[in-house]
Chains A and B, each alone.
Chain A
Amino acid sequence: MKKLLFMVLAILVVCGGLYLGADQLEKAQGITGENSLNLYNWGDYIDPELITKFEEETGYRVTYETFDSNEAMYTKIEQGGTNYDLAVPSEYMIERMIDENLLIELDQSKIKGLNNIDAQFLDQPFDPDNQYSIPYFWGTLGIIYNDKFVDEDAIQHWDDLWNSSLKNKVMLIDGAREIIGLALDSEGHSLNSKDDEQLAAAAKKLDSLTPNVKAIVADEIKMYMIQEEASVAVTFSGEASEMLWENENLHYVIPSEGSNLWFDNFVIPKTAKNFDAAYAFINFMLEPENAAQNAEYVGYSTPNKTALELLPSEITEDEQFYPNEETMKNLEVYEDLGSEYIGIYNDYFLEFKMHRK
């Protein structure tokens, strides 16, 4: 009994010590309810130095919390019980959150520096007039290949994926919109097509891709490509930039005939507490030098056109991540298809996945 009591006391003392330690740390960071900003972002999706800089400039203290998928973030915000002042969902999730009334309408008069953003990234179908969201990063869907196994000229278009020399070499990302979309693009249609004939043709075309498909996977693509287990993969530019970083034999191509354009945007959830801090942070990130620094750290493409001038030319002239106008013109953002057509896309994709070689 004495032993147990002693242990309980010891544990409580350690707990007290830990509590004081954590408290001191928090105090050292100066976080109080009044001046704090709760930022809910993807893991490692901002340069930590920028947070320090923001804190020094404005006096606000940033609490940085992270999520790993749009769906996870959506659940947390939708259920309430949290007060994130700023979140960074992708475009389809923004549309859904607007529909479900989870976001506040932005007060445009409080946002400074929106004119730094390239006009082609504003006023997108998922958020007309940017009433709810401000672009943070953007990217594309494309093909990544390893020049050890595949020639540069051999992979420039979606159709090249069908080349018989790529038998059992192609990895696809596990997403219905992405894969059906690339088939539609290869046929010259819109990837938001709601035309039954076009969709059926695309699905049929996909079936003939089956012999070339090595696997349909998600995040694992990164590892497989870096370790050279596959020679070609279809994936997002953000993922690709990380792969390129790790393996210099890899290259990323955005097919000029068209592809998907994706966004991660700042939004202010309805549950936010500190609106001033949220606006201050948006404005801070809209400043060209901050956007440039962030783009360099994260490696994704910034929508801030003034920031581009501050970035080293080897980044901005890299057509893998800042494609030329010709390609940009053909990029499309996913529109909400409505549940009927989402179902059709999913069914076709499922059939494709089940198709036997």
Chain B
Amino acid sequence: MKKKRFKWSNLYLVFVFIVLYAPIAFLIFYSFNDGGTMNSFTGFTLDNYVAVFADTRLIGIVLDTLLIALLSSLLATTIGTFGAIGIYFLKKRKTRNAVLSFNNILLVSPDVIIGASFLILFTFIGFRLGFTSVLLSHVAFSIPIVVLMVLPKLQEMNDTMIKAARDLGANTWQVLTKVILPSITPGILAGYFMAFTYSLDDFAVTFFVTGNGFTTLAVEIYSRARQGVSLEINALSALMFVFALILVVGYYFIQQHNLTKKQKNKKRQHAEAVGMR
């Protein structure tokens, strides 16, 4: 074996991960603090975690936040995927670029402005602020993200496959479900998860459209911050971080598992083919 050589790029990688994870580690560390503040660590306790589970209002907010995130990103992914397909099949290059630009404008425009516009719109048409208003606005700001994630996959797709499918007698529905959707699935999934995270941590837009007893976690934490964020929030963040970690690690192992299975299948097929000869 060749001796492993020290690489600068690895050092850089380690540095980047430290920068990314240090704040979270710091926050989790203090969630076990007995002292009540983040100024000094006085002793180990699980009280903060007990407090999280005792605070039914906070638990309710967490459930609502997750519900909004899952549902809004599902709707946004559905709408955004068909939007992307629509944009992809626009005949004129000029119109396509124009539509895409409109999509991008929404992506870069400040959240505060989007939020304020939603507030004005909803109250103008006499809409009651609450679950539905938050859901609708989250769907709205997630759509451009999904479009942007799906479009590259469409461009990667081999157009001749569609032509071939048509030649073989497939109707539009079959072309869509058998050719287009399977080849852009990775983009759709990426779009879904992007939309999900956007929705989870959005503060600015959500702030304007919550009301009547409905809030999300971001808004709640922000308004608590005025009095100094209590360690209960640290504990909750730690729990959510661990939950996300489990999801990601689980997904990783499922993928690995599938990969090895595929390789095994290939090998077996190969062996059978050899044996038949």
Which A residues are closer than 8 A to B by beta carbons?
Answer: 1, 3-4, 7-8, 11-12, 14-15, 18-19, 21-22, 25-26, 28-29, 31, 36, 38, 42-45, 63-68, 72, 75-76, 79-83, 219, 222, 226-227, 242, 246
**B181 and A66 within 8 A (CB):** no
Are the CB atoms of A79 and B230 closer together than 8 Å? Answer: no
Chain A residues whose C-beta falls within 8 Å of the C-beta of B74 in the assembled complex: 8, 11-12, 15
Q: How far is the CB of B51 from chain A (nearest CB, A)?
A: 10
* 10 sampled A-B residue pairs with Cβ under 8 A: A31-B213, A38-B212, A38-B213, A43-B222, A44-B230, A75-B119, A80-B123, A81-B133, A226-B39, A227-B39
Interface residues in chain B, defined as those with a beta carbon under 8 Å from any beta carbon in chain A: 37, 39, 56-57, 59-60, 63-64, 66-67, 70-71, 74, 119-120, 122-123, 126-129, 133, 177-178, 181-182, 185, 188-189, 192, 207-208, 210-213, 215, 219-220, 222-228, 230
Give the residue of A3, A19, A25, A43 whose beta carbon is less than 8 angstroms from that of B226.
A43
Contacts A1-B178, A66-B220; is A79 near B226 (CB within 8 Å)?
A: no
B71, B120, B220, B226: which contacts A15 (Cβ < 8 A)? B71
Q: Shortest beta-carbon distance, B259 to chain A, in Å?
A: 16
**Do B213 and A79 touch (CB < 8 A)?**
no
Judging by beta carbons under 8 Å apart, are B37 and A246 in contact? yes
Measured between beta carbons, the chain B residues less than 8 angstroms from A66 are: 215, 219-220, 223-224
Among B67, B70, B122, which residue has its beta carbon within 8 angstroms of that of A22?
B67
Number of A-B contacts (CB under 8 A): 103
Report yes or no: B70 in contact with A44, Cβ–Cβ below 8 A: no
State how many angstroms separate the Cβ of B172 from the closest Cβ of chain A. 14
Q: Which chain A positions have C-beta within 8 A of B215?
A: 65-66
Tell me which residues across on chain A come within 8 A of B66, comparing CB atoms: 18
Q: A81-B129, A242-B228 are in contact. Are A68 and B67 (CB under 8 A)?
A: no
Docked-complex contact A28 and B181, CB < 8 angstroms: no
CB distance from A38 to the nearest CB of B (A): 6
Known contacts: A43-B226, A82-B129. The answer to whether A22 contacts B63 by CB under 8 A is yes
A222–B115 Cα gap in the complex (Å)?
A: 29
A83 contacts B212, C-beta separation under 8 Å: yes
Checking B60, B178, B185, B227 against A43 with a beta-carbon cut-off of 8 angstroms, the contacting residue is: B227
For B226, list chain A residues within 8 Å (CB).
Answer: 42-44, 68, 219
In angstroms, Cα B221 to Cα A96, docked, is: 28
- Specify which chain B residues have a CB less than 8 angstroms from the CB of A79 in the assembled complex: 119-120, 123
Residues of B within 8 A of A72 (CB): 207
Q: Give the shortest distance, in Å, between B21 (CB) and chain A (any CB).
A: 23
Say whether A18 contacts B188, CB under 8 Å: no
Chain A residues with CB below 8 A from B228, complex form: 222, 242
How distant is the Cα of A76 from the Cα of B128 in the complex, in angstroms? Answer: 12
A14 to B73, CA, bound (A): 13
Q: How far is the CB of B161 from chain A (nearest CB, A)?
A: 15
Contact A81 B211 (CB under 8 A): yes
How far apart sit A7 and B211, CA to CA, in the bound complex (Å)? 31
Interchain CA distance A227-B192 in the complex, whole Å: 43
- Taking A44-B227, A75-B208 as given, write out 13 further A-B residue pairs in contact, using a Cβ cutoff of 8 Å, ordered by the A residue number: A3-B185, A4-B185, A11-B74, A18-B64, A25-B60, A43-B225, A64-B57, A79-B119, A81-B119, A81-B122, A81-B211, A82-B212, A226-B39
**B60 with A81: CB separation less than 8 A:** no
CB distance from A287 to the nearest CB of B (A): 23
Q: Within the complex, what minimum Cβ distance (angstroms) separates A22 from chain B? A: 4
In the assembly, what is the distance between CA of A246 and CA of B119, in Å?
A: 38
Return the chain A residue nearest B209 by Cβ. Answer: A81
Which residue of A has the minimal Cβ distance to B119?
Answer: A79
Q: In whole angstroms, how far apart are the Cα atoms of A291 and B88 in the complex?
A: 64
Q: Which residues of B contact A44 (CB under 8 A)?
A: 224, 226-227, 230
CB neighbours (8 Å) of B219 from chain A are: 66
A75 and B119 alpha carbons, distance in the complex (Å): 9
Chain B residues in 8 Å Cβ range of A3: 185
| Nearest-CB residue, chain B, relative to A44 | B227
For the complex of A and B, the 5 pairs showing the least CB-CB separation, nearest first, are A43-B223, A66-B223, A63-B213, A82-B211, A44-B227
CA distance A152 to B98 in the complex (A): 68
Contact check, B127 vs A45: say whether CB atoms are below 8 A apart: no
Compute how far the CA of A1 lies from the CA of B210 in the bound complex, rounded to whole angstroms: 36
Chain B's nearest CB lies how many Å from the CB of A277? 13
